Amino acid sequence: MYAKLRAGAKGYDVVIPSNDFVSIMIKQGMLQEIDQSKFTNRSKINPVILEKADYDPEMKYAVPYALSATGIMVNKTKVTNPNYSRDYDIFEDPQFAGHSTMMDEMREVIGCALLYQGKDMNSTSDADLNEAYELISNKWKPSLAKFDAEGFGKSFASGDFWLCQGYPEIVFGEVDKSRWEETIDFFIPEEGGPATLDSMVILKDAPHAELANEFINFIHRPENYAIFIDEFHYPCVVNLEALQFTTEPSMYDAQQAYNCTLKLDLGEDLDKVHDIWQKIRFN
């Protein structure tokens, strides 16, 4: 999306970037301000989420749409010892050896290691990154079947993977809703986990800016936002008043998402994280 817009793509009004790209697009002058006079549902947005969105906490340019948290999923039908650790130590549990996976995504896995070690998930200090490398390479990776960002949901549902770190919607989407409770144990460790906040923004050259503002406000009418929540089974985190209108179960309790940290734009320091990830993947 970002690359297409920078290359000159025209005709879009509302786009929904992740939080790291929202901050980039604000800095680069790609967005116009939200018309606050039309944003009458402003009060519906959860203040806890706005605290995390410190790049635009007043929603001057971006209105939160969905928080996607990363956690850990255990296939309860495959567990031999139900007293497993509900934190990142679970990746050293021998009962999951060869049947576990972490995401093939450097910010996700390295972020988890940093959090586990009590560090800032967005840290790029050489010492912190090297400690994360040692933990992942020596403690977690030996038990993994693979790093996988795409197929782990299907493999979990088929019984090949018993332990997955990743986006819950990928796993829950592959398991029949009637079997969620008996099959999936989802948790976000006490140390926290990575998260992404997608937000609705209006482009600087939006051809229908007035309607775009009205659309954003329309989405956040609680009865409308509840339809979105029900469709994807997200926990009701962004728009709390929508909860009274939901009719479907959520994938996990909303309180768990409060323990997550947003992945921030690291700028040029992203190359350092990439170099560490290459060592993890191929050493």
Residues of the chain scoring pLDDT < 70: none
Query: How high is the pLDDT of residue 198?
Result: 97
Q: Round the CA-based radius of gyration of the chain to a whole number and report it.
A: 20
- Distance separating alpha carbons of residues 30 and 17, to the nearest angstrom: 12
**pLDDT at residue number 21:** 95
Each residue's pLDDT tens digit, 84-123:
999 999 999 999 999 999 999 999 999 999 999 999 999 9
Q: What's the CA gap between 147 and 283, in Å, rounded?
A: 14
Q: What string of H, E and C letters represents the secondary structure of 100-162?
A: EEECCCHHHHHHHHHHHCCCCCCCCCHHHHHHHHHHHHHHHHHHEEEECCCCHHHHHHHCCCC
In angstroms, what CA-CA distances link 55 with 26, 186, 237? Answer: 9, 29, 19
203 closest CA partner among 61, 35, 49, 24: 61
In this prediction, residue 124 carries a pLDDT of: 97
> For residue 214, what is the enclosing H or E element?
helix 209-219
Q: Are 76 and 182 in contact (CB under 8 A)?
A: yes
SS3 41: coil
The neighbour count for residue 89, using CB atoms within 10 Å, is 13
> Coil, helix or strand for 230?
helix
Q: In angstroms, rounded to a whole number, what is the distance separating the alpha carbons of residues 128 and 148?
A: 24
- Spatial contact of 44 and 241, defined as CB atoms under 8 Å apart: yes
Tokens read off for 89: 């130590």
Bridge partner list, 100? 144, 163
Q: What pLDDT sits at residue 283? A: 85
Quick one: angle between helices 222-232 and 209-219, nearest 10? 70
pLDDT of residue 150: 86
